Structure 1
Amino acid sequence: MQLSPLAMQFVEGNIKASDWHNRKAATSALGVILEGPSIEKLVPVVPLLVDRMEDPNMVVRSTAACTLGQVFELLHSPARANRIFTDANLPCIVAVLAKSCLDVPEVSKEACGAIHFLAKGYEPISSEQGHSKKEISSELSPFLSDLIDALVYASAFSKETPFRLPTSASAYEALCEVVRVSNVQDYKASMAIRVLMPCIMRRLNTVLDARASSSGDKRNKFDLLVLLCGVLHVIIQKLSSSTLAARKVTESAPFVLLLFCRVLTCDSCAARDKAALAIGALARAIGPDFADHMPILLQYFNVKRLFPTYLQVIGNIFHVLGDRILPYCDDMMDVLYRGLSKPTLKPAILECFGEIALAIGKNFDKYLEAVMKRLKDAADPGYYDDVLEDDEVEYGNRLRQGIFKAYSGILRSIKDPASGFKVAADLFLFTQAVCKDQSRDSSLKNTVVDALGDFCTTLESWTKEMIKDLTKC
């Protein structure tokens, strides 16, 4: 606190000096004093930095943008009683940031980072200072189109470096935040996001088609796939929150789903995970009508393409579609049965069985016998007796977690007590074996408790139904 006046004196004496080194030093000094002084004392920092972002020297502009990003990261929140900038100077700040996105890569990268933290400050939060969520999220709405245009330009491909990073990374990360905090009920904001969606889809298609010859280009290609899927994921979530805007998601569904499915075939685990999660968001956005697009998804649903995140998403899709997924169940269950031959997939597949049972209810009866056989095979105590290595112990615990979650889902889906008690008997035998095993971890213990708790709830439901039947007799 005592150093702040001296620091500000140094800044004011050098930030407009003729030597760019002095201007850079003064700009950097602003970043050092951000933690400590009150907001009121730091308010003059913002206009000083905005002014330096138009400095003739590229290094000074870059430093100013970076420091402004620090200001937003540490001090910017519309819910504060005192704010680091006002509604009056926000248009100037946004205009300078948008312009800086078109600057040289060194400046553009930092400007994108500053936009990222500016937008992040508008994340929906509960406010006790009189700001409603709608008011907070609406502040950027008038500038959303300009910001999106600037970020799209900053992340544009170039012929020389088609997989350009890190400017692209900063721009796409900023795009995610800008879209995430936008007020989609605002018509202009909604239109800006709807226009952005096909632009990102085209870029994703371009990256998928492009050949990466060097190892560096391959890494950058995979990073771009992650970023582009992430932006589309956020766009889908945002547009689906508005009935009018959701039409854009429905119209684009077959095309964007195909793009995500193509990403599922790449060699990057991170990209495949992002694509799978985006598919799940698309299914939730469309609802039961996503069944119309299942033929596209099934083209990419085979044992070779299975991985844990994708299996979680498949379970979610079953819940979204309910009975409308029944025409595809046989083929999907067959793929899951064959996937059990891969040990790394077995825990996730078994857990997926539980989710499928919950989603389709009595329609799971036709698969019950086959699934129970596979659960008994996976629960064979003989396997766990020979486990000694740490990684084998960890895998054994994950496998048993999958088994318990499968039992839990299946029991909760069964309405006929006669069938349910047979499943419950197997669950109790398996539970006894696990309780005797000293290698179980705490998370497995919690899973056991949850599974037994679910059974108790289900048992109560069965009992009530049996009492009703008795009273009718």
Structure 2
Amino acid sequence: MDVTQILLSAQSADTQTRTQAERVLKEAEERNPGLYLTTLVDHLAGDDNDPESRRLAGLIIKNAVYSRDPAAKHRLYERWVRSIDENAKTHIRTTLLRALSARAPEPRRAAAQVIAKVASMDVARGAWDSLIADLLLSASSREDHVKQASLEALGYTCEEAGIGDRLDEVLSLKSNQILTAVVQGMAYPGGPTSTDQSAGLVRLAATNALNNTLEFARAQFEISTERAAIVTTICEAAKSGDAQVRQASFEGLVKVAENYYEKLSEYIRDIYTLTENAIRNDAEPVAMQAIEFWSTVAEEEVSIMYDNETADPSRPPVRKNEQFVKHALPYLSVPIFDSLKKQEDDPLEDSSWNIATAAGACIELLAQAAPDTVLGLVKPFIQSNIRDQANWRSREAAILVFGSVLEGPPEAEIRNLVREAIIVLIETLVHDPNVAVKDTTAWTLARVVLVDRTTTLTHLPALVECLKRSLMAAENPELAAHICYAIHNVAERFCEEHEEETGPLTEHVQPLFTCLMQTADRDDAGDSNLRISAYETINALFRSVTRDALPFIASCLPMLRDKLEAALNAVPRALSEVEQMETIEKVGLICGALTTATHRLTMAQVVPYADQMMRDYLNVFQVPGSEASLEDAFLAVGALAHVLGKEFNRYMSHFMPYLQQALGNLQAHQMVGVSVGVAGEICRGLGKDLVPYANPIVALLLEALKSPTLNRAVKPGIMGCFGDIAMSVKGHFETYLKSVMDCMRQAAESSVQLEVEADDYDTIDWVLALRESILESYTGIVSGLKDDKKQEILLPYLEWILGFCEVIVNEGPHSLVPTSEGMVRDIMGLMGDIADAVPQFQAEAKRKTWLQSVVDRGMNSADERTSEIATLAYYAIFDRP
């Protein structure tokens, strides 16, 4: 069987033919990956080969060198670097470049994409540094199809670059030559052999390439003439006769706004004219990109406003807000409002992103960027359209605008607007004949109820009646989901009052719960996330009601437990995979509702149902299926442990095998994180009754902590769990002290030695979480050992604990990893606890001037909690003889 036949057979509709071809390809790849790739790339570049098989060859090559999955991507990279010899790699690179001149378009496109993937591996490690020069030379070809493919390859390669990697550096150094080639391509008039179509494809490829190149053009944007040339070229392309080129050029303007906002002032008038015309008159894809430009400008200005508000007031503003939105809004609002009325004929059936939804999202951002201007423009539009009975599009647009401007403008003005409109919205949701209008009204009401408690409370009976009635009447599941969202936010509005004896939700909780349960049981509840929305709303109700409604929540436990048992029994009877997954999802949602209910109740209220609930949770663990439902069942067990305390011990022997399995399954990091949290709940509940189970739990936690493959997000929780264990088992923790403290020390040192980039917010948050959990765990260990008078065994570890705290304090609130007042408070509390537990520590602590300074500042803090902890630390450390 030749290569063409194998490739075509791998796409055959006949299962046997396809499976056999896939097996041949897999065996060839595993036997000799270098030969496998060179054979495929030769086929891709062969102009006499079948075009479809060449396209498939390109796709297979790309999948052989790249994967979206990080672990698979790393394996493919290692294989490319270590298992494929240099001669094969050189042949592959050379042949890919040759494939850019293929006569058929599919192989050219495939070659351009594969070149970028190989570049992400090779250029990033210092190999194939000639690539950009090769592509630039190819882009100067006299043949349009070669120009086009070379420009596409340049664009894809730029798209692959990561911040700070070698490819990024190479592209930055070559940015001038790349931009020259791309700008020339955008203005390409055609050559002697060009057709209108071939020249247009060159211009489109160049325009798309520019969008991926702009991030590397910082040096050029600092030079007025070069900046002007780039922006002018983009603006000229925005007037092209080709709609695809116009769309791509507006995408380029979006990139300019994202990366060079401060340079826009020279061109903003011309850009405004282009965008306004496009929004009013151009094809929808082009108009949507023009709207996206203003959304991006608004996002930048909102970000600047936030940065300047939170910056040190004694310093100049971090960035200047040019207020482009404020100046453009009086003129821009009209075409944006008109776009809102261009909804699909049935928006709920066709909920894809379109010009109306893009305009709605834009209005929301414009309101935040120009908060003092927007209401004066939207009020007349709302007033003239909201009661337009002849045109549902006008009504829906008016309500969408109203819901979109609730965040940003002055709160007093928004509250007045809400007071005026809430009755109209309630009436519209009940009586409007158009489902799209109802849907937008439900979404808007969900936002309105959060604006002003007084207004929501005043209209609560009418609001609840309206939402119940509308939910029961809603035939469309998307509309029903938005009504659930509105009920959810009604509950959230009063959540802060849940510890009060009585509250406004009490009389409404039973009818709302009944209504939501009926909604969750609808035959179409699997559509539009309706079932999920209904259960999330039930959870919001359970969290928000006051104490006088807790008996009702307790009465819901047997009903929810019955539903859980019915769902578990239905799983093996499911007639299809979809039905089975829906049933398993229902299992998880019911567990979630039981978790929320359990957390609100007392032991006495839960105990009558605890045996049955625990039995059902154990049954969930035996159902193969979604990891999410297992997580929900684990959380439900954690809630039960939290409420039952020592009484939970009766279930531990049954639950322990599942807990060990979850803690040890390091490939499922989310499950590990959930099980760590549940272990903490059990520790806090059982106290010393945990001792018989502590050995395997600690061993698994230490194994997880040391694992190089476990997602790092789980590790702060593991650190905190050690403190929970120590607080439970008291002096028995001596058994684990050295192993745990060695791991803690390693983690503490990593948290202060790790180099963090200023814009790597995920890592910054992780380091802060790690430090907080280490401090929390130290506190638990000190307290637990002290309770059994074994605190003296801490002496070998106190010096480096003190040093760790000193490093954190000295970094201060303005470092890349800022030390918050809360963390300083934790340090003071820990130091005080150690001094109180280990008198030998006092003399060393007294000599630390940094600690004296921290405690002095804490005692003078305006925060009552900080002052209290600092005072206790002072008496424990500095005020003893």
Q: What is the correspondence of 1:21-420 to structure 2 with a 5 Å cutoff?
A: 21-25=393-397, 27-28=399-400, 31=403, 36=413, 39=416, 42-43=419-420, 45-46=422-423, 49-75=426-452, 77=453, 80=454, 83-85=457-459, 87=461, 89-90=462-463, 92-100=465-473, 102-125=474-497, 133-136=500-503, 139-156=504-521, 158=523, 163-183=526-546, 185-186=548-549, 189-190=552-553, 193-194=556-557, 196-198=559-561, 201-202=564-565, 205=568, 227-238=589-600, 240-241=601-602, 243=604, 245-258=605-618, 261=621, 266-267=626-627, 274-302=632-660, 303-305=663-665, 307-343=672-708, 344=710, 348-365=717-734, 367=735, 370-376=736-742, 379=745, 405-415=776-786, 419-420=790-791
Q: What is the percentage of aligned positions where both structures have the same residue?
A: 20
Instruction: Give the superposition deviation at 1:410.
Output: 2.7
Q: Cα 1:213–1:11, aligned 2, differ >3 Å: closer, same or farther?
A: same
Q: Distance in 2 between matches of 1:194 and 1:274?
A: 16
Q: Is the 8 A contact 1:116 1:178 kept in 2?
A: yes
Task: Please give the secondary structure, in 1, of the residue aligned with 2:451.
Answer: helix
Q: Distance in 1 between matches of 2:442 and 2:566?
A: 27
Task: Please give the secondary structure, in 2, of the residue aligned with 1:300.
Answer: helix
Larger radius of gyration: 2
Q: Is the 8 A contact 1:151 1:171 kept in 2?
A: yes
Q: What is the correspondence of 1:425-464 to structure 2 with a 5 Å cutoff?
A: 425-429=796-800, 431-432=802-803, 446=824, 450-459=829-838
Q: Distance in 2 between matches of 1:44 and 1:442?
A: 44
For 1:10, the equivalent position in structure 2 comes to 384
Higher relative contact order (CA 8 A, sep 6+): 1
Q: Distance in 1 between matches of 2:584 and 2:534?
A: 16
Q: Is the 8 A contact 1:179 1:234 kept in 2?
A: yes
Q: Cα 1:330–1:96, aligned 2, differ >3 Å: closer, same or farther?
A: same
Q: Cα 1:442–1:96, aligned 2, differ >3 Å: closer, same or farther?
A: same
| Per-residue Cα deviation, 1:33-54 (whole angstroms, up to 9, x for no partner) | 8672655983563255335433
Q: Is the 8 A contact 1:263 1:275 kept in 2?
A: no
| Per-residue Cα deviation, 1:240-265 (whole angstroms, up to 9, x for no partner) | 1484x434542433134326656999
Decide which moves more: 192-201 or 1-10.
1-10
Q: Is the 8 A contact 2:449 2:493 kept in 1?
A: yes
RMSD of aligned residue pairs (Cα, Å): 4.8
Paired letter, 1:371: L
| Per-residue Cα deviation, 1:71-97 (whole angstroms, up to 9, x for no partner) | 22323x2xx38955154x356324423
Q: Cα 1:197–1:455, aligned 2, differ >3 Å: closer, same or farther?
A: same
Paired letter, 1:182: V
| Per-residue Cα deviation, 1:352-393 (whole angstroms, up to 9, x for no partner) | 33321211223434x2xx431453366469x969x77659x9
Q: Distance in 2 between matches of 1:74 and 1:321?
A: 43
Q: Is the 8 A contact 2:726 2:781 kept in 1?
A: yes
Q: Cα 1:194–1:291, aligned 2, differ >3 Å: closer, same or farther?
A: same
Q: Which runs of 5+ in 1 are unaligned?
A: 127-131, 464-473
| Per-residue Cα deviation, 1:300-348 (whole angstroms, up to 9, x for no partner) | 1224247244224313311211133333334434444554552547665
Instruction: Give the superposition deviation at 1:7.
Output: 6.0
Task: Please give the secondary structure, in 2, of the residue aligned with 1:74.
Answer: coil
Q: Distance in 2 between matches of 1:433 and 1:5?
A: 57
User: Structure 2 length as normaliser, TM-score?
Assistant: 0.42
Q: Cα 1:93–1:42, aligned 2, differ >3 Å: closer, same or farther?
A: same
Instruction: Give the superposition deviation at 1:6.
Output: 5.1
Paired letter, 1:148: F
Paired letter, 1:421: E
Q: Distance in 2 between matches of 1:359 and 1:173?
A: 33
User: Structure 1 length as normaliser, TM-score?
Assistant: 0.72
Task: Please give the secondary structure, in 1, of the residue aligned with 2:431.
Answer: coil
Q: Distance in 2 between matches of 1:330 and 1:105?
A: 50
Q: Distance in 2 between matches of 1:286 and 1:99?
A: 37
| Per-residue Cα deviation, 1:203-243 (whole angstroms, up to 9, x for no partner) | 763797669958xx97x8897676544322212123x1484
Task: Please give the secondary structure, in 1, of the residue aligned with 2:447.
Answer: helix
Instruction: Give the superposition deviation at 1:298.
Output: 0.3
For 1:466, the equivalent position in structure 2 comes to none
Instruction: Give the superposition deviation at 1:25.
Output: 4.6
Q: Is the 8 A contact 2:519 2:531 kept in 1?
A: yes
Q: Is the 8 A contact 2:835 2:841 kept in 1?
A: no
Decide which moves more: 311-320 or 281-290.
311-320
For 2:794, the equivalent position in structure 1 comes to 423
Q: Cα 1:311–1:332, aligned 2, differ >3 Å: closer, same or farther?
A: same
Paired letter, 2:439: S
Paired letter, 1:96: R
Decide which moves more: 274-283 or 224-233.
224-233
The alignment covers a number of residue pairs equal to 437
Q: Distance in 1 between matches of 2:776 and 2:830?
A: 7
Paired letter, 1:119: A
Q: Cα 1:208–1:430, aligned 2, differ >3 Å: closer, same or farther?
A: farther
Instruction: Give the superposition deviation at 1:291.
Output: 0.7
Instruction: Give the superposition deviation at 1:182.
Output: 2.8
Q: Is the 8 A contact 1:312 1:348 kept in 2?
A: yes
Decide which moves more: 29-38 or 45-54.
29-38
Q: Distance in 1 between matches of 2:470 and 2:517?
A: 13
